[in-house]
Amino acid sequence: MEKTNIQECTPRNVSEAPGFSYRSVMQWLAERGAKGIINTRCVAYIVGCSLRTVKNAERNGEIKAIDKCTYELDSVARWLMKHPRFLAQDRPSWNIDEKAMADIRNIVVSKHQTLIQMFNNDVDELVQEIACRLLKKKKGKCSFSTAVYSVIGYIKRENLHRIKTVPISTIR
């Protein structure tokens, strides 16, 4: 049996799901780079779930471990057959293109000058940070601007609780 490397794996396309048969699931895993032996990270990456989900399945005996965090592909396929929600999940994320970057920039420049100052007046860095966090965020039913405002609020709260260093000369 060959061991699966994470570099060989490809993440799932959120709009695809294999047929509901053992053979289809095995083929679907193989198309994403899975080989005979697969580890926790590769399973999570291919399926699109968290590491904790895979480890919980191992702990519950649904995936049989052959070594620490290492499983046979057959065991993973049987687990996916028992839990088809992991095969069928549709978790689209935000699409960031040039228009979206311009919209983010306009929102930031028009209403969030204090946040720009927190980023040393570097608007482009702040826009890139917001775009990066939006890519990691699951797309919900809210509008794009609402999602941007949500990320901006999270960044503001995060910066408020950050430990700041103060020179000793200012204390005296």
Q: Yes or no: say if 3 and 35 are a contact pair by the CB < 8 Å rule.
A: yes
For the chain, the residue count is 172
Residues 21 and 80 in one domain: yes
Per mean pLDDT, which range of 1-10, 67-76, 113-122, 141-150 is the poorest? 1-10
pLDDT digits (tens, 9 = 90+) for 27-73: 888 888 888 888 888 888 888 788 888 898 898 988 888 888 888 88
Q: Is residue 169 part of a domain?
A: no
Task: Tell me the percentage of the chain whose pLDDT exceeds 70.
Answer: 85
Q: Is residue 122 part of a domain?
A: yes
140 by DSSP, 3-state: which?
coil
Phi and psi of 54, rounded to 5°? Answer: -65, -45
Measured from the Cβ of residue 8, the count of other Cβ atoms closer than 10 Å reads: 13
Domain residues for the domain of 36 are 6-88
Residues 76 and 32 in one domain: yes
**What CATH number did the domain enclosing 21 receive?**
1.10.10
Phi and psi of 72, rounded to 5°? Answer: -80, 145
pTM of the model: 0.52
Q: Is residue 137 part of a domain?
A: yes
What span, in angstroms and rounded, lies between the C-alpha atoms of 26 and 94?
29
What span, in angstroms and rounded, lies between the C-alpha atoms of 85 and 115?
40
Domain edge (last residue) among 64, 88, 112: 88
Query: Which tokens is 126 given?
Result: 């702040």
| Better-scored residue on pLDDT, 14 or 69 | 69
- Tally the domains of the chain: 2
